[in-house]
Amino acid sequence: MTPRLPSLNGLRAFEAAARHLSFTQAASELNVTQTAISHQIRRLEEELGLRLFIRKNRALALTPQARDYLPGVRAAFNDLRLATDRLLRKEDDKVLTVSTLASLAAKWLLPRLTAFQEAHPGIDVRITTSTALVDFKNGDVDAAIRYGRGNWPGLRAEWLMADEAFPVCSPALLASNKRPLKTPDDLRDHVLLHTTNNYDDWRQWLTAAGLPSDISKQPGITFDLILMTVQAAIDGIGVAMGRTSYVQDDIAKGRLVVPFNIALPADAGFYLVSPEGAAEPPKLKAFRQWLIASAKNKS
């Protein structure tokens, strides 16, 4: 028997409230009352049989289950928006569709995208998240941001930035007297946070720090997406292996700190990928110039 899908209104309320971490802001965005958002969230929690939000000291936080659920819900709404756009609009030179990784979108691209919109108000940017290779011939994607070494035959790959790997943690965890974190050897007493696709980062970093790589095998927590790994570090759950593009904003804003001055050099990097040989439309040229400049700006 096919499971019944949850209420679409409840999912919309959940996605907006999770993005803002505020029922009030979600209500304003969806043009409903805060009470309506609360009812929709409560009904969704009842349908799913689990809690999605934790209310504490006038702040709103996601439960671990909600953090796991959110990327899929967000991606589904992005797909719905893109499908609706394709249905309702004819070819529009002002619409620029960019495919990227979910974690890079959340932790690096989206916080900077307002600057592009302000500089180019006539271009309607659509962001879709996927790890799959883009079919530029049959799809509606204009460009993609991908991680690798730039060797994608038949495509133009423009270098954006490298990604060093190094441990990060919350300032509160670093300042705690219960379990010191003054030397790399102190990691033996801490929870290590892993990301599935970057699982080997800890082993390589421990080796570079002169420690046994087996420390990486001690009990820890593993996440599918690095944005969830980073959020767990911000929440003080443990020490994460961060990568520059995913943590630089959180470090700059004091949400994360770097406990040790040891980093693994990047063996690959992020590229802007687009069709090779085709005439480049002005919207893509403008985005390319802005994106490369943004990548060079470390702030």
Sequence-distant (≥ 6) Cβ neighbours of residue 248 within 8 angstroms: 108, 298
Enter the CATH code of domain 8-72: 1.10.10.10
In the chain, where are the structural domains located?
8-72, 92-161+268-296, 165-252
Task: Specify the pLDDT at position 148.
Answer: 86
Average pLDDT by stretches of 10, the chain with 299 residues: 74 90 89 91 90 84 90 85 65 80 90 92 89 75 88 88 92 87 92 88 91 89 92 95 92 95 86 81 92 83
Q: How many CA atoms lie within 13 A of 275 on its CB side?
A: 14
Task: Specify the pLDDT at position 147.
Answer: 87
Element (H, E) at 271: strand 269-275
Task: Specify the pLDDT at position 150.
Answer: 84
Local structure of 181: helix, strand or coil? coil
Among candidate residues 104, 83, 125, 85, the one with its CA nearest the CA of residue 288? 125
Q: How many CB atoms lie within 10 A of CB 26?
A: 26
- In Å, how far are 132, 150, 167, 262 from 227, measured between CA atoms? 18, 23, 14, 22
Phi and psi dihedrals of 150, rounded to 5?
A: 85, 5
Task: Specify the pLDDT at position 77.
Answer: 85
Task: Specify the pLDDT at position 254.
Answer: 95
Task: Specify the pLDDT at position 86.
Answer: 62
Q: Which amino acid is at 171?
A: P
Assigned CATH class of 92-161+268-296: alpha beta
Q: Of 2.40.30.20, 3.40.190.10, 2.60.120.330, 3.40.1190.20, which CATH number belongs to 165-252?
A: 3.40.190.10
Are the folds of 92-161+268-296 and 165-252 the same?
A: yes
